[in-house]
């Protein structure tokens, strides 16, 4: 059976083909707040089943599902957070309020290790979650991502600036624009390292998201960049749901 997996984030729609052997070809499309409009750029012509992880809300999700059904002739199914699933237990009293992308990243880590781990997603938001060796989600943190932090500072001040950028170094900035960028970098890295040291000191550390490759080089050793972490969790979920 051929699968189409979609990870619909705040700014990008990621798609990946999958089958019994695992994940296949895929890509990422900036959707500009309209995920349905990005469907035409998906590089597949056939899918027997479609699974979606959507954080953009029900209205946009329904529009996306309608366009996908029209193109592929099959009704998509949406992954939903479960309070307890395959030994993974969510810390939230209201599990449905946990972001599906965060939960699937945790599920991927738990399915792979069956042990303690922490997951970080670096994108529009910067998130951290940890699970212990018994499969108990310990909780998480949500903070602004690298660009979001820069936008917040520049939007709340009168600094002359050329705007947010994604060129970072290990040190300090030597002009205002660089200082704002470096402030975002060190804030993000400091948060991630502090939480990992406290909640995942000897556990696998997995980082995903559009800014993972930018942030990871500025973290301590031991971090594994996993671009398809959410997709791996979604694939595990889809296989169980057959």
Instruction: Evaluate if pTM is beyond 0.85.
Output: yes
Are residues 151 and 46 part of one domain?
A: no
Are residues 222 and 115 part of one domain?
A: yes
Please identify every stretch of the chain with a pLDDT value under 70, giving residue numbers as ranges.
Answer: 242
Which domain-ending residue is among 78, 95, 120? Answer: 78
Distance (Å, whole) CA 64 – CA 39: 8
Are residues 153 and 55 part of one domain?
A: no
Distance (Å, whole) CA 85 – CA 92: 14
Are residues 221 and 147 part of one domain?
A: yes
Asked if residue 237 belongs to a domain, the reply is no
Structure confidence by residue, pLDDT tens digits, 108-161: 999 999 999 999 999 999 999 999 999 999 999 999 999 999 999 998 888 877
Catalytic residues: 101
Are residues 106 and 66 part of one domain?
A: no
Are residues 166 and 138 part of one domain?
A: yes
Structure confidence by residue, pLDDT tens digits, 94-110: 999 999 999 999 999 99
Q: Which domain holds residue 153?
A: 84-232
- At residue 242, the pLDDT reads 63
- At residue 163, the pLDDT reads 78
Are residues 151 and 44 part of one domain?
A: no
CATH code of the domain covering residue 70: 3.30.420.40
Asked if residue 203 belongs to a domain, the reply is yes
Are residues 220 and 196 part of one domain?
A: yes
Which domain-ending residue is among 78, 98, 132? Answer: 78
Which domain-ending residue is among 15, 47, 78? Answer: 78
Asked if residue 239 belongs to a domain, the reply is no
Asked if residue 214 belongs to a domain, the reply is yes
Are residues 134 and 30 part of one domain?
A: no
């Amino acid at each position: 059976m051929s699968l189409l997996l979609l990870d619909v984030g705040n700014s990008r729609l990621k798609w990946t083909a999958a089958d019994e052997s695992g994940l296949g070809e895929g890509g990422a499309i900036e959707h500009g707040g309209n995920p349905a409009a990005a469907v035409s750029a998906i590089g597949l012509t056939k899918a027997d089943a479609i699974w979606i992880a959507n954080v953009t809300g029900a209205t946009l999700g329904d529009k996306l599902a309608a366009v996908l059904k029209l193109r592929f002739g099959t009704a998509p199914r949406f992954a939903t957070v479960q309070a307890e699933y395959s030994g993974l237990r969510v810390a939230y009293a209201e599990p449905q309020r946990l972001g599906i992308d965060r939960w699937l990243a945790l599920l991927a880590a738990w399915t792979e290790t069956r042990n303690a781990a922490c997951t970080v997603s670096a994108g529009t938001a910067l998130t951290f979650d940890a699970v212990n060796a018994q499969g108990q989600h310990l909780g998480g943190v949500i903070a602004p991502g690298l660009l979001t932090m820069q936008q917040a500072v520049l939007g709340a001040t009168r600094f002359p600036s050329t705007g947010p950028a994604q060129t970072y170094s290990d040190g300090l900035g030597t002009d205002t624009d660089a200082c704002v960028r470096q402030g975002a970098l060190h804030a993000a890295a400091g948060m991630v390292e502090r939480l990992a040291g406290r909640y995942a000191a000897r556990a696998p550390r997995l980082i995903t998201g559009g800014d993972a490759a930018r942030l990871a080089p500025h973290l301590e050793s031991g971090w594994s960049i996993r671009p398809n972490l959410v997709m791996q969790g979604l694939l595990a979920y889809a296989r169980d749901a057959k």
